[in-house]
Amino acid sequence: MSSPRVDRAVIAFAAALAVLLTVGVAAASVPDGTGTIHGCFKKSGGDVRIIDPSAGESCGSSELPISWLQAGPQGSQGQIGDKGVQGQPGPAGLSGLTQDPKTMVVGDTAFADPVIGGFFKEVSCPEGTKVLWGAWSWELFISPKPPGDMESFPLSDDSWGFAVGASSQSKGTVASVFIGCAIAQ
């Protein structure tokens, strides 16, 4: 059985050793402040080990000192690559402009009521333009053929209306509607 005095001495020694090791590890600096990593290269066998000169470590007589930067130097800029092939122009989106800056196509989507069918959709030209025509295409219909009672008509100088009557044939139908607009003179 050990005495309490010896146990305290052992505990105090272990604590002091732990503090010294912690301070030693905390003070170690790899890489150093300049980003350099220091090491030793064994002359026979080629083994490499990392050292910390700031902690008093050095290479032995059978080793050669070596060092390198943690981050390599900036490389030279590479050659500019070949220009890519020009792709085909995509389709004009809804409300997109046509190639002629004096005219444009404005589009929207009309949704029929899913319970009773039918819809009315008004599409207007941007300010400073007048409506020229209206058109539509069916995107979704449940019957074997689309509703036959679609109507399209001008509402004013700058808007167009699209209508489908309420019926079982028009329930849940979807149509894309378009108008042509031109700059007002």
As a whole number of angstroms, the distance between CA 110 and CA 151 comes to 13
Q: Which CATH class is domain 103-183?
A: mainly beta
Sign of CA dihedral 137, 141, 146, 151: negative
Q: Can you give the pLDDT at residue 100?
A: 57
Q: Can you give the pLDDT at residue 13?
A: 59
pLDDT tens digits along 27-52: 567 888 888 889 998 888 888 898 99
* pLDDT band at residue 26 using 50, 70 and 90 as cut-offs: very low
* pLDDT band at residue 11 using 50, 70 and 90 as cut-offs: low
166 pLDDT higher than 80: yes
Q: Can you give the pLDDT at residue 155?
A: 95
Q: Can you give the pLDDT at residue 181?
A: 92
Q: Can you give the pLDDT at residue 96?
A: 46
Residues 6+ apart with CB under 8 A from 17: none
User: What's this model's pTM, rounded to 2 decimal places?
Assistant: 0.45
pLDDT tens digits along 80-99: 888 878 777 766 554 444 44
| Backbone dihedral region for residue 114 (phi beyond 0: left; psi -120 to 50: alpha; all else: beta) | alpha
144 pLDDT higher than 70: yes
Sheet of 159-164, strand order? 119-124, 159-164, 151-156
Q: Can you give the pLDDT at residue 104?
A: 86
DSSP the chain: ---HHHHHHHHHHHHHHHHHHHHHHHH--SS-TTSEEEEEEETTT--EEEE-GGGT----TTEEEEEEESSPPPPPPPPPPPPPPPPPPPPPPTT-B-SSTTEEEEEEEEE--TTT--EEEEEEPPTTEEEEEEEEEEEE-SSSS--S--EEEEEETTEEEEEE--SGGGTT-EEEEEEEEEE--
4 pLDDT higher than 60: no
Range(s) of the chain covered by CATH 2.60.40? 103-183
Q: Can you give the pLDDT at residue 51?
A: 93
* pLDDT band at residue 18 using 50, 70 and 90 as cut-offs: low
